[in-house]
């Protein structure tokens, strides 16, 4: 059994991570660290876990755990690792954006590997430190990886995507409280979302001559969880050729599937799946992608990476049913 620790246990991603780890057959939660909730039962904060665990939050860290998950706000993982040290055998999976970019991936002798299994599964298997991808970055990269791998991103990409309210975290703000979100819709961070950096990095890793624009419009939806994204680009081949490219690229993927039928978000919410759909409109290829922002976009993918690092089947603990109805 892997002894697991979690740093920053009160947020949405931590709550999902705890739920998954409690039901994982090869892990035991050693501690969940939260300075603001130390001494409180976990199910007092993550109320869906009542009856599932009697573990309490703690302000004490065990530096000898096998795996450490960092569920901290962006910028805080760096500060935490500067001030806290773990055994040489401890594997670390960071869910922030602190180590995703190549310019940041070396930190105090730790080399973080970008943890997108559909991109570089073998590197993840041999890694000790993982930078878990962002939620939008996951949904959008999975839509275009096959094209980049075949050097077919030769024109501007246009992406429109909507995410649920949990993507903003648990802290209240003017755009997350109920009276603002309910029956409402808006865009934010148009063309300069922070996940564009890792998307560009991955595209250039697969297609070194890529030099066109990625025009990304993120939107806030009035639902709790999930991401639904539409991406289009000029594509001279047939729809049959596009499907062949995507099926070949994802033939060994554990959680990413190409559907012949139109897809919708309820098919993936509460799962670690990414569903894709392809359609040809004139000279444009439309790629639709959808994921659960808290699972494949965060905690589920973190468990998937842990499984790969530990030599487990990557699907262990992640056979989840969608909240389809």
Residues classed as catalytic = 135
Strands 256-259 and 110-114: unpaired
Place of tokens 């209240």: 172
**Rounded distance, CA 88 to CA 65, Å?**
10
Residue 233, H or E segment: strand 227-234
Q: By 3-state DSSP, what share of the chain in percent is helix, strand and coil, each rounded to 5? A: 30, 25, 45
In degrees, rounded to 5, the angle at the alpha carbon of residue 149 between the alpha carbons of residues 209 and 247 is: 155
d(CA 94, CA 298): 10
Q: How far apart are CA 154 and CA 79, in angstroms?
A: 40
CB half-sphere exposure, 214, CA atoms < 13 A: 26
Alpha helices in 11-169 (DSSP H): 12-22, 42-45, 76-83, 117-125, 135-149
- CA–CA separation, 55 vs 40, rounded Å? 9
Contact 19, 316 (CB under 8 A): no
* Strand-pair partners of 3: 28
289 to each of 212, 262, 265, how far by Cα in Å?
A: 21, 10, 9
């Amino acid at each position: 059994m892997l002894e697991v620790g979690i740093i920053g246990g009160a947020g949405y991603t931590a709550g999902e991570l705890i739920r998954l780890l409690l039901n994982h057959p090869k892990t035991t939660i050693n501690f969940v660290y939260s300075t603001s909730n130390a001494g409180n039962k976990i199910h007092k904060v993550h109320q869906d876990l009542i009856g599932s665990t009697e573990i309490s939050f703690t302000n004490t860290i065990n530096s000898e755990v096998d795996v450490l998950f960092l569920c901290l706000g962006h910028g805080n993982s760096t500060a935490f690792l500067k001030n806290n040290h773990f055994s040489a055998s401890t594997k670390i999976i960071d869910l922030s954006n602190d180590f995703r970019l190549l310019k940041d991936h070396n930190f105090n002798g730790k080399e973080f590997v970008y943890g997108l299994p559909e991109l570089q599964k073998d590197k993840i298997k041999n890694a000790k430190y993982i930078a878990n991808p962002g939620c939008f970055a996951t949904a959008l990269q999975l839509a275009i990886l096959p094209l980049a791998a075949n050097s077919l991103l030769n024109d501007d990409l246009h992406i429109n995507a909507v995410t649920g309210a949990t993507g903003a975290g648990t802290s209240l703000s003017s755009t997350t409280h109920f009276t603002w979100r309910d029956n409402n819709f808006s865009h934010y961070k148009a063309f300069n979302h922070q996940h564009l950096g890792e998307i560009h990095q991955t595209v250039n890793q697969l297609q070194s001559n890529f030099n066109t624009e990625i025009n990304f419009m993120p939107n806030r939806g009035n639902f709790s969880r999930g991401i639904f994204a539409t991406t289009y680009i000029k594509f001279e081949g047939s729809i049959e050729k596009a499907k062949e490219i995507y099926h070949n690229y994802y033939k060994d993927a554990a959680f990413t599937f190409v559907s012949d039928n139109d897809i919708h978000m309820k098919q993936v919410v509460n799962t670690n799946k990414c569903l894709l759909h392809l359609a040809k409109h004139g000279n444009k290829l439309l790629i639709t992608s959808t994921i659960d922002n808290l699972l494949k976009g965060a905690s589920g993918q973190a468990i998937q990476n842990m499984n790969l690092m530990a030599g487990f089947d990557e699907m262990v603990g992640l056979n989840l049913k969608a909240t389809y109805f």
